Structures are given as C-alpha cells and as structure tokens.
Amino acid sequence: MKRVLALLIWLLVLPILAAAQMPPVTVFAAASLRGALDEIAGQYGGQVTVSYAGSGTLARQVAAGAPADLVVLANPAWMDWLADQEISFAAPIRSIASNRLVVISHQAGNPLDDISALPEKLAAGRLAMGHRDAVPAGAYARQWLQSIDLWNTLEPQLAETDNVRAALALVARGAAPFGIVYATDAMAETRVHKVYDVPASHHDPILYPAAALSTGGQAFLAFLASPTARGIFTAHGFDEVPE
C-alpha cells in the first residue's frame, strides 16, 4: 500500500518538477495570433508570457534588443528584415500556420456578392485595415485592392491601424462599416459578420514565420509544431502551412 501511495505522489509531483525545469519563455507574437497562442501557451507545461503587437513593431523591438525568446510574425518580409539586422537565431525559421483575408461588416445581412459594389456601400464611411507599410494584414489588403483596381478609389477612406485586431475593433464597435481582416479575426469577434472571402491568388501567401532567439524559445517553437498546437490553430480557423 505504501508503494502504491508513493507512486501516486510521484506521478502527481513529476509534472510539477518537469515544468520547474523548463525555462520561462517570452514570446513576441503578431496580434492576430491572440487567442490561439494563449491557449497553446496554457498547454505548454511551462511559464509562457506572450506580448502581442503589429509585426513591424515587434520586429523593430527585437532588432533594438528587446528580451524575447521567440518571435512570431505575420509576414515573411518582416522576418527577412529582422534577419538582415544580423539577429542571431537559435534555430531555423519555421512557418507555423497560414491564414486568409476576408471583408467584414458591422451589420448582419450585408453580403458583398460583387466586390465592385464596396465603394458604393461604404458611402462616406471608413474602411478599416492594418497600416499598409507596417502591418502585414494591411500589406496583403493593399495587394488585393490594387489587383482589382480599387486601391486608388478607396485609399482616401481608409482607417489604417497599428495592428489587425485594432481594425477588427473599429468594425465591431460600428466606428467603421467595413474592414479587411484575417478570417481568424472574424471568427474571434461575434459583433462582426464576414461578407466576402478575398481570393488567395490576389495577394502573397499569408504565413506566420517563427524564429527562436534562445534555447527556451527553441523548445516552445518545437511545441508549436506538435499535434496539440496544430489542433488548437485549426480550431481557431488557421490553416496548415502549404507544402
């Protein structure tokens, strides 16, 4: 009986000891990963602190020496920029998920079957999106609008934000009648309604590259590729990384 009791105690204590041996991890992550990454961090078994912001802001902070163990951005271009700053990575850069662009509306029952009708439906309102030069979602949105010859028409009415979740919030509050965000953002906010799926062929692939900056970050990056993490990403609407 004593042996059984000792075994039960050991089984209870073992996960605590394992977590104590894992170094705490600080993750800088693109704002659109909020929710999914929080859930994944809760499943990790060690202490994980996640700081969310726009990818451009995060890349500049890391380049300036901010103490991050792992950085996850929403655009390979910003990760390429970070690599050009001669940052030392602890492991090869790995894309952990992909996403899609959608147009959202504050009002239900307002579909955009013909996207050319967007300027007319927008009227005097603003079109919310991430900043074209600093926020990946904004850069993808500009590529799309240019490909369908609506950029010049809509540019004067843009409400550009520091990150994609801020654009989502503008539409959710009704401050902007329409917005361009990721499909996962639209899933995360019940006060907005998806009205149009942007064709993936009209912009660069939306990938989330991750780079470890320490051994702790390397361990968490490996966990992001686990079946547990992939299942959480999928549940939040993210797509698998294409081959």
- Give the tens place of pLDDT for each residue, 197-240: 999 999 999 999 999 999 999 999 999 999 999 999 999 999 99
52, 89: one domain: yes
182, 106: one domain: yes
Longest dimension (CA), the chain: 78
221, 151: one domain: no
Is 170 inside any structural domain?
yes
Mean pLDDT of 85-99: 93
Domain limits for position 212: 23-98+206-235
116, 163: one domain: yes
192, 121: one domain: yes
What's the token pair of residue 223? 């966990």
Q: Domains in the chain: how many in total? A: 2
Q: Please state, as a whole number, how many other Cβ atoms lie within 10 Å of the Cβ of residue 115.
A: 16
Residues of the chain with pLDDT > 90, as a percent, come to 84
189, 220: one domain: no
Is 242 inside any structural domain?
no
39, 121: one domain: no
Is 2 inside any structural domain?
no
- Cα separation, 243 vs 228, in Å, equals 20
- Cα separation, 58 vs 51, in Å, equals 9
49, 130: one domain: no
53, 89: one domain: yes
pLDDT tens profile 142-171: 999 999 999 999 999 999 999 999 999 999
157, 196: one domain: yes
109, 153: one domain: yes
Q: The domain spanning residue 217 has which CATH number?
A: 3.40.190.10
Is 42 inside any structural domain?
yes
